[in-house]
Amino acid sequence: MAGHEPYLLEIEAYLAACLGGRDLPENLIGACRYALLAGGKRLRPLLTMLCCECCGGERSLALPAGAAVEMIHAFSLVHDDLPAMDDDDLRRGRPTVHIKFSEAMAILAGDALQALAFDEICRSRVPPAQVATVIRELAEATSRMIAGQVHDTLGGLDPLDSPRRQLEIIHRNKTGALIRAACRMGAIVAAARQRELEAITRYGEAVGLMFQIVDDLIDVTQSPEHTGKATGKDKEAGKMTFPAVLGIEESKKEIDRLHGEAREALGVFEKRGAALSALAEYLATRTR
Amino acid sequence: MAGHEPYLLEIEAYLAACLGGRDLPENLIGACRYALLAGGKRLRPLLTMLCCECCGGERSLALPAGAAVEMIHAFSLVHDDLPAMDDDDLRRGRPTVHIKFSEAMAILAGDALQALAFDEICRSRVPPAQVATVIRELAEATSRMIAGQVHDTLGGLDPLDSPRRQLEIIHRNKTGALIRAACRMGAIVAAARQRELEAITRYGEAVGLMFQIVDDLIDVTQSPEHTGKATGKDKEAGKMTFPAVLGIEESKKEIDRLHGEAREALGVFEKRGAALSALAEYLATRTR
């Protein structure tokens, strides 16, 4: 992501270090590190840092919260890949955790990453009142993320809702909630004012849903060689996606609408919103 | 447990209520309730409440923290029962969560219970500084509990340690850490002084290890009809237990020693320690 290299280097360094110095079994830490340090866009911690800066905070303040969000994201991928869930053997071109280690280790490493995420936030140097607020954000987003996964794979949605409404509920929870929380946590550690927190929330909600629609489009329009993972998988699995429900053209329009919404939300920040605006632009137009 | 009925009724009522009013799918909440409201001794929340009272706090202050510890305990049981782990079909005489619902739901309900545990603490009415401290206790104990499960089932212990030392490491983590945290969280929400917190910590460590040794003894000496679960299973699974490593007589002596240690730790509380002392007595002599 253009211009974000310094942030991404800081995030990688922090993630690589933050599992060290804990009195936990080597094999468990090894599996956690394998899951956490597997590349990836680091979108969530990047959002936490940029939202913190946008609200006037020093970006290093946001690193523990950003790392915690990334640990939650990593834990969800490890469990989603399990045989009883999506049953995936590969992720980002490498064997998934249960293939590389064992199914039992994948269950336990995912569980540990969730616990370590909450532990990580407690280690940050922001005041306790903010720590408690940040933890509440993360805990709520984590249960909403799990709710989205339940809706997506095990049902439980209101059958009277339109397919489009059902799809929005799934994605606002499954991907959206954690992206929204990543943004809000950055604002909270920066001690943002109410008006700023509201703007960041609007931005996070727009970007979170947009991210998923772009992802769905990439799945139907790009080759596996291009994306580095199996594509067309959603359709194969019979999953509801935006292109399947709205069509490709309507999905693109929805991306434009959400992109506009994200830009508009940043208005209150004037020039300080430039980095978040550039990130939204990148997320709207990415092809992998 | 004699004299603890009022506490246990409050705990049951709180647990039954605390999963309500959340915007989560019915099927997910149903599986979480099934796992959380399945009976059980409620030892951990009882300890949280008694330790809170012992340190001069009002016991209702300890309910959110106690419920959170019980949610972590319930999540660990759901995941431990999974086919890739202990592969148990029955728990407390009822089908386990993956049998009753599905394996995918058991994974997700366990994950949700962990997230809801951290969320629950954030809802308590103790000051934010204490909330942050309590969360750190719980997060650390949860990762130690998972570490103990890894050691117990997937290895990773130092082979140079004696079997007795290995066994202690397993159990101080697997069962001990959460029981210790249950006690400390009660003391923390009561704003205990340092000397009191140290005494509660000693008590919690002694009682936690003692609880596991008693459990191991029940497994080798009682019939399944008596305990309501399969016995002799530890030996069958080739698991390290105290009776297998120390022998039955030496295990009983260790129980006496830990019971004495727990009583001694309560000395600083004088009469206020009576309820915790009675609980230790019960835990040392229980037969199921």
- Over chain A (288 residues), the average pLDDT of each successive run of 10 is 85 94 92 94 97 96 97 98 96 96 98 97 88 96 97 87 90 95 98 97 97 91 61 62 91 96 97 96 90
Checking if the pLDDT of B141 tops 60, the result is yes
Cβ neighbours of residue A89 closer than 8 Å, sequence gap 6 or more: A95, A96, A99
CB-CB under 8 Å, B122 with A136: yes
Long-range contact pairs involving B180-184 (C-beta distance under 8 Å, separation at least 24): B180/B141, B180/B204, B180/B205, B180/B208, B181/B69, B181/B137, B181/B138, B181/B140, B181/B141, B182/B43, B182/B44, B182/B45, B182/B47, B182/B48, B182/B51, B182/B66, B182/B69, B183/B47, B183/B48, B183/B51, B183/B207, B184/B51, B184/B137
Instruction: Give A111's contacts in chain B (Cβ within 8 Å).
Output: 75-76, 79, 110-111, 114, 142, 146
Q: What is the pLDDT of residue A43?
A: 97
| Complex ipTM value | 0.94
Share of chain A above pLDDT 90, in %: 77
For B123, which residue in chain A has the nearest alpha carbon?
A136
Q: How many CB atoms lie within 10 A of CB A129?
A: 15
The Cα A112–Cα A32 span in angstroms is 8
Look over chain B and give the mean of its residue pLDDT values, rounded to a whole number: 92
The Cα A51–Cα A56 span in angstroms is 9
The Cα B78–Cα B35 span in angstroms is 7
Instruction: Give B111's contacts in chain A (Cβ within 8 Å).
Output: 75-76, 79, 110-111, 114, 142, 146
For A122, which residue in chain B has the nearest alpha carbon?
B136
Q: Is A110 on the interface with B (CB under 8 A)?
A: yes
In this prediction the pTM is 0.95
Domains of chain B: 5-285 (1.10.600.10)
Checking if the pLDDT of B225 tops 70, the result is no
> What pLDDT digit, counting tens, does each position of A56-69 carry?
999 999 999 999 99
> What pLDDT digit, counting tens, does each position of B35-51 carry?
999 888 999 999 999 99
Instruction: Give B104's contacts in chain A (Cβ within 8 Å).
Output: 84-85, 153-154
